[in-house]
Amino acid sequence: MAGFWSAENATKAYLKTLKMGHKPNEPDEVEFISALAAGSNTQLMVVACGGAADATALALVVSAHRTGGRVVCILRGNEELDRSEELILGLGVCHVEFVIGDAQNLLLTHYREADFVLVDCNLENHEGILRAVQMATAAAEKKKRNGAVFIGYNAFRRASSRWNVVGSRTQLLPIGEGLLVTRISANNNNINNNNNAKSVVINGKRRSHNWIVKVDKCTGEEHVFRVRSPFPHGREIIEA
């Protein structure tokens, strides 16, 4: 279950993931994903891969080393499994397991307590997977008081830029190939479900929470800052 935000975990996971890449001066989506998962202290991280597990899965493995959690990679077949094991297990990492099957069904049956879900938007049923996460989060409300974080990567390759799911807020972040970031609350009773709203209503009070992207004019680097209001425990909303 995700807990309080840990800036130390986020920073260390970010830097370790950055060292694993080949572009040290160009932070990409994998560093962002790793920092967000580690900083949120997530314990069960699930990634639904469109092909073989890649750097995005490794980003979660780095986070798991920081939080003491575990990573589950859901793959579509034996070919993807062989390639994934060759890449990830060949690096001598732990905290990761591989499963072949339908991500939507598995999240509803075996991984209902997942508090961080990463999905390749190239998967045809990626929106269905989000709905499954929302249903699982609602069903496991007592164990997942902080809800779940859902990220769709490779978002620019899809026509859709938003998830149409009641009770969640999503924004498209211009990082890498595009990240759709959603915070799903474990209790949606007090959330304003207007998809066009820029804030949420909690106990009659309107609060906002935003991601701000700044581009360095000299280097071209993207810097992402999170600006949030002091929400009650477990009531965070991620925005762009």
Count of CB atoms situated within 10 Å of the CB of 196: 5
Phi, psi of 59, deg, nearest 5? -60, -40
Model pLDDT, residue 60: 92
Which residue did the predictor score with more confidence, 174 or 189?
174
pLDDT tens by residue, 157-173: 765 545 554 445 778 88
Question: Average pLDDT in the 61-87 region?
Answer: 92
Model pLDDT, residue 127: 87
**Residue 61 confidence (pLDDT) above 70:** yes
Model pLDDT, residue 209: 47
Count of CB atoms situated within 10 Å of the CB of 230: 6
**Residue 211 confidence (pLDDT) above 60:** no
| Tokens describing residue 141 | 């409300």
Q: Name the burial class of residue 237, with classes exposed (0-12), middle (13-18) and buried (19+) by CB atoms within 10 angstroms of its CB.
A: buried
The Cα 106–Cα 237 span in angstroms is: 25
Question: Average pLDDT in the 10-20 region?
Answer: 59
Phi, psi of 171, deg, nearest 5? -140, 150
Asked whether the beta carbons of 152 and 185 are under 8 A apart, the reply is no
Q: What is the value of pTM for the model shown?
A: 0.67
Asked whether the beta carbons of 198 and 170 are under 8 A apart, the reply is no
Asked whether the beta carbons of 21 and 54 are under 8 A apart, the reply is no
**Residue 207 confidence (pLDDT) above 60:** no
Q: What percent of the chain has pLDDT over 70?
A: 57
- Of 18-22, 68-72, 128-132, which range is least confident? 18-22
Model pLDDT, residue 226: 56
Model pLDDT, residue 43: 92
Model pLDDT, residue 52: 92
- In this structure, the chain runs to a length of 240
Average pLDDT, the chain: 73
**Of 164, 111, 157, 155, the residue nearest 133 (C-alpha):** 111
Range picked from 5-9, 91-95, 104-108 for highest mean pLDDT = 104-108
Model pLDDT, residue 197: 34
**Of 36, 29, 39, the residue nearest 4 (C-alpha):** 39
Domains and CATH numbers, the chain: 7-185 (3.40.50.150)
Q: Are strands 116-120 and 148-153 parallel, antiparallel or unpaired?
A: parallel
The Cα 34–Cα 146 span in angstroms is: 19
Asked whether the beta carbons of 97 and 70 are under 8 A apart, the reply is yes
**Residue 103 confidence (pLDDT) above 90:** yes
Which residue type is seen at 25? N
**Of 104, 13, 80, 2, the residue nearest 45 (C-alpha):** 2
Count of CB atoms situated within 10 Å of the CB of 157: 12
The Cα 122–Cα 199 span in angstroms is: 29
